Amino acid sequence: MANKPIDPNVLKALSPMDGLKKDNLRALAKKTVIKEAAGGSFLFKRGDDTKVSVYVISGEVELRDGDDVLTVISGGSKEARSPVAPVIPRMVSARARGPVQYLAVDTDLVDVMLTWDQTGSYEVSELRTSMMAESSDWMTTLLQTKAFHRIPAANIQAIFMRMEQVNYRAGDQVIKQGDEGDYFYVLTDGSAVVNRETPLNKEGIRLAELGSGDTFGEEALISEAKRNATVTMLTDGSLMRLKKEDFQTLMNEPMLQWVSFERAGEVIARGGKWLDVRLPSEFDNFHQEDAINIPLYFVRLKLNSLEPDTPYVVCCDTGRRSSAAAYVLSERGFETYVLEGGLNQLAGGEMALADE
């Protein structure tokens, strides 16, 4: 079982993966393996800043501050459903008491997937039916790319909604080296080849072959330069494209008010409230004192339960989901702030652990 892809149901039992839709859960399972640690070895040490969420599947892991054992987490327990010591950088070390099986899941990838799942479901009717019917594979692949992680969370849904589908035949040129950049492309069906012409090779050097979910064309849009390669379809296929103007607008951060934990405390002191938009399972693990929990996917549905004259400090674990929620609230006239860095960036002493 060790070092092999896992059953998506294993992830479904863990927080916050229990909030992922089936397509993203399956995609995440393909990228996740169960690892083994021998007794006495460390899963991570104090100060580690690697953005992975660690889950104990079997065995016992002790959280240590120097030589002191603070607590022990056993596989299969209620505590094991949540990531071990999620604060980054780590405030403690995690050491296996005996043989341990555990998961190390890409935190950013899970967060991007959760944000899309919970914002993309608000107004599905606004998306073209044909696009949604055939979109799951390429959308899931696109969400996993590191480049997509840099897109502001509040803009994820808008990007998909503004894309238009274009069909090509085998042999068609999608973009040509030397042309002006006009679109950002995502290949959704079929395959294509990337070639670059050089002074010594007019026919072009083959740089790469593209498949479903692969993107191209962004370099010319970002740098305002001409296309540096030619992309030609190898098979019949389809692409989604985003206009240059939309690409440049949606790659930029919406107008949001980001605040430090200290500044957030000042907002709370003058009558503001914490609004935690994580899943209930995450909220139950730890949260700010007196925080309200409305998961991101419920924010639009619960607007009437919020007080229009109350400022809200919106928070999640990283800041990605909370920025999406704050954008929705700001559009509707609420005074909102986003906790910069999220709850996982706070020192352990600044978080109120749930007593439940």
Task: Beginning with the edge strand found earlier in the chain, give each strand of the sheet holding 312-315 in spatial order.
Answer: 258-259, 336-339, 312-315, 273-276, 292-293
Residues 55, 83 contacting (CB under 8 angstroms)? yes
Query: Which of helix, strand or coil describes residue 160?
Result: helix
Question: Which residues, at least 6 apart from 307, have a Cβ–Cβ distance to it below 8 Å?
Answer: 273
Question: Which residues, at least 6 apart from 45, have a Cβ–Cβ distance to it below 8 Å?
Answer: 90, 93
Output the CA angle 341-342-344, nearest 5 degrees: 100
Distance CA 239, CA 219 (A): 18
Q: List residues bridging with 256 in a β-sheet.
A: none
Q: Tell me which DSSP letter residue 236 carries.
A: S
Residue 333, phi-psi category: left (phi > 0), alpha (psi -120 to 50), beta (remainder): left
Distance CA 276, CA 288 (A): 8
Please give the distance of CA 309 from its chain centroid, rounded to a whole number.
Answer: 31
Q: Tell me which DSSP letter residue 349 carries.
A: G
Q: Which residue has the tokens 């085998």?
A: 170
Distance CA 182, CA 217 (A): 8
315 labelled catalytic: no
Residues 196, 229 contacting (CB under 8 angstroms)? yes
Out of 316, 328, 338, 339, the active site residue is 316
Residue 111, phi-psi category: left (phi > 0), alpha (psi -120 to 50), beta (remainder): alpha
- Give the closest residue to 235 by CA, choosing from 168, 181, 323: 168
Active site members: 316
